[in-house]
Structure formats: C-alpha cells, structure tokens
Amino acid sequence: MLKRLLRNRAVSAALVFVLARYLALALATTRWSMHGEEHVALHIAGQPVIVAFWHERLPLMVALWRHAGPLVGRRRAYVLISRHTDGRIIGALIRRFRLDVVHGSSARNGQERGGAAGMRQMLERLVAGDYVAITPDGPRGPRRRAAGGIAQLAAISGVPVLPCAAQTTRRRTLASWDRMVVPLPFARGVIVCGPTIAVPRDGAAEALPAIEAALTEAADLADRLADRLCA
C-alpha cells in the first residue's frame, strides 16, 4: 500500500515538499563546523573530486554543499541516486538544495540496475570539471559495504575520492537497513572530510577496501566529534 501511494505523483510531491521544508529547517538551525577543511580546499579552488559517504549520512551531507556551494562558482554537484521509488523521492528532495541528480545504481550480484549509464554520466560531469557524489553502499546495502563502481569511476577518470561524513548533536536514527540519521533542529553539527584517495587506472579492486575504511573512519570521527560537542 505504501509503495503504491508513493508512486502517486501528488503524494510523492507533497512528501518531498514536507521533507524539504523540514530538512532545510534542521540544517539551517544547526551550527556547523568543519573538520579536515584542508582536504577540501583544492577542490573548492577548482579541482574535481568524487565525494563519497555512507548512505546513512545522506540527509546530513546536504550541509557540505551548503557550506562549499557559495565558494565554487558555477560548477555543479551531481549525486548518484537509485532508480527505485524511494530514490526518485530522494532525488527530488536534494534538487531543492541546488544539487543535481544522476539516476542509476551500482551492479551487485551480477544484476545491472542502471549503473553503467549512471557512471557514464558521472564521468562526463567530472570531465566537465563538476563534482560528483556517491553513496557506495546504496540503495539497498549491505550497510557500509562499497560496490565497486566508485573505485572504477576514480580509476577511469583519474579523479580522487574524498571520504566524508557528518553528524549532529541532536538526531534520530531510523530502523532502516542503513540506520539512516535524521537531524533534529537547533543542534550543533560537524562535517568531516578525510584525505583524498587516488586510485590507479589498473588498481580499482585493490583500492576498494581503502575507500571503505576511509568512509567508516570519517563516519566514526564525525560521531566522536559530535559527542564531544554534547559534553
């Protein structure tokens, strides 16, 4: 029943409107700080980058673009989102925050889910000098396990991966497969950006564990920093 309702354009549009208004309120009333700003500086100055974070932090990572967006001029940021119903809703939601969407998911277990077309579009955006963002464990998990597409994109494009995360002092954790974090208003928040990971053209498979570890390290650090803000 819920899936049928979400396929209804009027229902999904109303849901996106409500969620966007809420998320804008939560992010705008949060006092943000950044950890690892030195890892972002070159990319704000013009070098393309593949921004990567776990799917659970997707609602929070809009804050990164709100922080960096005014500094990057006309360059755009493109987020890879699945073609599922919930992916289309997430895509419509993040478009309200001046982010663009590329639809497609990485292939898992030999099943193609639009990932090849999505990766081609992401490669085109990187060549054009734009930024791209990927949640490599989305849209269905397993949680904090990266599909190979992100390492392949970095290897082919020659563009490094920037591991990121965010956390706030006031949040709710959903009982979803990824344990998605939903920010609450009037909090303090931290955005973490780790050192970039360069992937050799023939080294995608070998780089994937390092990317996974860096994303988890960024998420864990964001949690610790947020907890310190509560103390």
3 state SS of 6: helix
Angle, alpha carbons 90-159-48 (nearest 5°): 65
- Say if strands 100-103 and 105-108 run parallel, antiparallel, or are unpaired: unpaired
In sequence order, the 6+-apart residues with CB closer than 8 A to the CB of 168 are: 30, 60, 181, 183, 184, 187, 188, 189, 190, 226
Tokens 């020659």, located at residue: 158
Closest CA to 105 of 118, 120, 92, 95: 118
Q: Where are the beta strands (DSSP E) in the chain?
A: 31-35, 50-52, 77-81, 100-103, 105-108, 111-113, 131-134, 161-168, 171-173, 181-183, 188-193
Domain CATH code at residue 67: 3.40.1130.10
pTM for the predicted model, two decimal places: 0.90
Low-confidence ranges of the chain (pLDDT < 70): 1-7, 70-71, 85, 105-115
pLDDT at position 4: 65
pLDDT at position 38: 92
Number of folded domains that form the chain: 1
Closest CA to 124 of 71, 48, 200: 48
d(CA 213, CA 193): 13
pLDDT at position 35: 95
pLDDT at position 111: 46
Closest CA to 188 of 79, 41, 30, 81: 30
d(CA 163, CA 53): 6
* Enclosing domain of residue 6: 2-230
d(CA 39, CA 196): 7
pLDDT at position 3: 58
